[in-house]
Structure 1
Amino acid sequence: MTAKLDFIYIGTPKAGSTWLFEALRHHPDVQLFPGKASKFFETETPRPIAEYDQQLNRFEGSGKIGEISHDAYLYPHNAALLREHNPDLKILVCLREPGDFARSLILWLHAHTRDYGDCAQDMLKHPKIRSWMNYAAGLQPFFAEFPADQIKVLFFEDFKANPAKFYRDVCDHVGISHEWQPASLQEVVNPARAPRFDLLTQIVFKIGVVTRLLGFGGIVEAAKRWKLLEKLLYAPSKAVEIGQHEAARIERALARNSYDQLERTIGVDVPAAWREN
Structure 2
Amino acid sequence: MKADFIGIGAQKCASTWVHGVLSDHPEVGVYPGKEIDYFSDYYNRGYQWYERQLSGVDSVRTRGEVSTSYFTDSDTPSRVFLYNPNMRVVLSLRDPIERAYSNHLNEIKLCHLTGQNLEFENGLTNNPMYLEQSYYGKHLARWLAIFPRDQILVIFQEEIRDDPFTQARNLYRFLGVAEDHQSWFLEKKVNESRIIKNAEADHFLKYLGKLGRSIGIGGVVVAVRKNDLVGRLRRNYNQIELRQVIPPMREDTKICLQDILADDMRELAHQLERKDLPWPSWVALCDRSS
Between the aligned partners of 2:225 and 2:105, the Cα distance in structure 1 is 17
Quote the Cα distance in structure 1 between the aligned partners of 2:150 and 2:31.
25
Three-state SS of the structure 1 residue aligned to 2:8 is strand
Pair member with larger Rg? 2
RMSD (Å) for aligned C-alpha atoms: 3.1
Q: Match of 2:101?
A: 103
Partner of 1:150: 151
Alignment partner, residue 77 of structure 2 = 79
How far apart, in 1, do the equivalents of 2:260 and 2:130 lie? 14
Helix, strand or coil for the counterpart of 2:145? helix
- 4+ runs of 1 displaced by more than 6 Å? 222-226
Q: How does 1:31-180 map onto structure 2 within 5 Å?
A: 31-43=29-41, 46-47=43-44, 49-50=46-47, 51-57=49-55, 59-115=57-113, 118-125=118-125, 126-180=127-181
Aligned to 1:255: 261
State the aligned residue count.
255
- The amino acid that maps onto 1:264 is H
- Does residue 271 (structure 1) correspond to residue 282 (structure 2)? The answer is no
Q: Please list the CA deviations of residues 164-186 of structure 1 after superposition, one character each: whole Å capped at 9, or x if unmatched.
A: 11111111111111211011212
Equivalent position amino acid for 1:144 in 2: A
Contact map agreement 2:25 2:181 (CA 8 A) in 1: yes
User: How far did 1:120 drift?
Assistant: 1.4
- Partners of 1:64 and 1:116 lie apart in 2 by 42
- Change beyond 3 A, Cα 1:112–1:84: same
Query: Quick one: which of 6, 9, 20 aligns to 2:7?
Result: 9
- Alignment CA distance shift 1:146-1:229 (3 Å): same
Greater RCO, 1 or 2 (C-alpha within 8 Å, sep 6+):
1
Instruction: Pick which of 46-55 and 181-190 moved more.
Output: 46-55
Structure 2 length as normaliser, TM-score? 0.75
2:218 maps to: none
Aligned counterpart for 1:239 among listed residues 241, 244, 269: 244
% of aligned pairs identical? Answer: 23
Letter in 1 for 2:24: H
Cα deviation, residue 59, structure 1:
3.5
Comparing 170-179 with 120-129, which one deviates more in the overlay? 120-129
Flag structure 2 segments of 5+ consecutive residues without an equivalent: 204-221, 285-290
Letter in 2 for 1:138: H
Counterpart code for 2:72:
L
Q: 1:231 to 1:88 in 2, by over 3 A?
A: same
CA distance in 2, matches of 1:63, 1:137: 33
- Cα deviation for residue 162 of structure 1 reads 0.7
Cα deviation, residue 231, structure 1: 5.6
Mapped partners of 1:130, 1:46: distance in 2? 26
* CA distance, structure 1, for counterparts of residue 282 and residue 152 of structure 2: 23
2-structure distance, mates of 1:238, 1:153: 27
1:252 CA drift (Å):
3.0
- Residues of 1 paired with 2:236 and 2:40: CA distance? 30
Q: Give deviations 1:138-164, integer Å, cap 9, x for gaps.
A: 211111110011001112221111111
- State the alpha-carbon separation in 1 of the partners of residues 146 and 70 from structure 2: 14
- Distance change in 2, residues 1:84/1:56 (3 Å): farther
Cα pair distance change 1:130/1:233, threshold 3 Å: farther
User: CA contact under 8 A between 2:138 and 2:264: conserved in structure 1?
Assistant: no
* Partner Cα distance (2:150, 2:255) in 1: 33
